[in-house]
Amino acid sequence: MKKSFVGLVAAGCASLFALTAAAQTVQFAKPEDAVKYRQGAFQLIRAHFSNLQPVVRGQVPYDKAAVAADVYVLDVVAKLPWAAFAEGTKGGAAKDNVWSDPAGFKKAQEAFLASLGPLTKAADEGDLDKLRAAFAKTGASCKACHDTYRN
Ligand code: ASC
Min mean pLDDT across 11-15, 80-84, 143-147 is at 11-15
Average pLDDT of the segment spanning 11-19: 59
* Average model confidence (pLDDT) across the chain: 91
- CB burial of residue 20 (10 Å; 0-12, 13-18, 19+): exposed
Identify residue 35 by its one-letter amino acid code: V
CA dist list (Å): 133 to 59, 81, 120, 129, 146:
16, 25, 12, 6, 20
pLDDT of residue 10: 53
> 29 CA distance to ligand 1 centroid (A)?
30
Distance from residue 5's CA to the centre of ligand 1 (Å): 37
Protein residues with CB under 6 Å of any ligand 1 atom: 46, 49-50, 139, 142-143, 146
**Which atom, in ligand 1's list, is nearest to the CA of 140?**
12
Residue nearest to atom 10 of ligand 1 (CA): 139
Distance 139 CA to ligand 1 centre (A): 6
pLDDT of residue 21: 65
Q: Is the pLDDT of residue 145 over 90?
A: yes
pLDDT in tens, 57-72: 999 999 999 999 999 9
Q: Would you say residue 137 has pLDDT above 80?
A: yes
| Residue 75 near residue 120, CB atoms below 8 Å | yes
pTM of the shown model: 0.88
In the predicted structure, residue 14 carries a pLDDT above the cut 60: no
pLDDT tens track for 103-127: 999 999 999 999 999 999 999 999 9
Nearest CA to ligand 1 atom 7: 50
pLDDT value for 1: 44
